[in-house]
Structure 1
Amino acid sequence: MTQDLIAELEAQEAELELTRFDNADAWRLGSLLVELASQRSLPVAIDIRRGAQQLFHAALAGSVADNDRWIERKVRVVERYGASSFLVGRRLAAKGQELDAGMGVDPADYAAHGGAFPIRIRDVGVVAVVTVSGLPQAEDHALVVEALRAFRP
């Protein structure tokens, strides 16, 4: 089961590779996520950033400041490992490991929980991170994947 999930998550990352992504695309993707979450009354925060620059942020009804802290922690995982925070977490779990000081990171600053997904450009690599926080980790991840499947720059 775990290996099947890991394979599915890896396939999602390959499938959702883009050919371009700019600030206007970040706005469109973020707005799409807000629309999907609002239609379902989901209490989430949504974030898209490129490095230190936040390109999009929204905190929907029911989300809390702690969601922003989770976003920061999940984003660091994607930036460090070049894969979705959910995939990193599942890979670690499959090995019986956790993201901790033994891996050279402080768990207060990193969270290998679903919801942060790399924006990867073909032949370039990861250029940004899109994140949802506020739901159980598999649901955060699934909402991002749904939006990316519907989004085409």
Structure 2
Amino acid sequence: MTDAPLPESPLTETALPEFTPDEVRAQLAELTFDSVGSFDQEAAYSLGTLAAEIVRERGFALAVQVVLGEHIVYKAALGGVSADTTSWLRRKSNVALRDAQPSLLTRLQADASGTPHQIDDEFAVSGGSFPIVVDGSVVGTITASGLKDVIDHDLVVTAIRSYLAN
């Protein structure tokens, strides 16, 4: 990774992005780690650090977590997020792992079908977790939690794009 400037974002809690299922599917197809050859614990840590830098630069109160296999490789809580954010990170990540797609896409699909959002002890159908895909297989997730789910989603997408660009 280089010391390239982090991407700018017009996001605030009052200017929320909107995503369609097709846009999120396109992000999933675009943001794979095939081009980097492998994705190991060092890469997971670097991705988490990059996401945390973006959180700090934007002044957000967010928690970020990167999971690789069964291991939490990176975790940071920034800006005074609440203690229950840890549970949200785990449950959003479980959705992305179970469905092999961003948790926001699962939420948008539930909205479109009129299905209630699954929010229980194991799963939270809420945006903010994105699968880490290498050679067609989900090997982990990057997850953000603490703000509106579309902001959490945008943060992880921005971090992945920035990581892959470097």
- TM-score (normalizing by structure 1): 0.89
Give yes or no for contact 1:77–1:111 (8 Å, CA) kept in 2. Answer: yes
Kindly indicate whether residue 130 of structure 2 is the aligned counterpart of residue 112 of structure 1.
no
In the aligned structure 2, how far is the partner of 1:108 from the partner of 1:17? 29
- The residue correspondences of 1:1-150 to structure 2 (distance < 5 A) are 5-19=20-34, 20-100=38-118, 107-123=120-136, 125-150=137-162
**Greater per-residue helix proportion:** 1
- Matched-pair identity in %: 35
TM-fit CA distance, 1:145: 0.4
The unaligned stretches of length 5 or more in structure 2 are: 1-18
**Partner-residue secondary structure (3-state), 2:84:** helix
In the aligned structure 1, how far is the partner of 2:69 from the partner of 2:42? 16
**Partner-residue secondary structure (3-state), 2:66:** strand
TM-fit CA distance, 1:99: 4.0
In the aligned structure 2, how far is the partner of 1:64 from the partner of 1:42? 13
In the aligned structure 1, how far is the partner of 2:22 from the partner of 2:55? 27
Amino acid in the other structure paired with 1:62: G
Q: Aligned pair count?
A: 144
TM-fit CA distance, 1:122: 2.3
Give yes or no for contact 1:99–1:110 (8 Å, CA) kept in 2. Answer: no
| Deviations 1:16-47, CA, capped at 9 Å, x for gaps | 01122111111111111111110111111100
- TM-score (normalizing by structure 2): 0.82
Give yes or no for contact 1:6–1:91 (8 Å, CA) kept in 2. Answer: yes
**Partner-residue secondary structure (3-state), 1:118:** strand
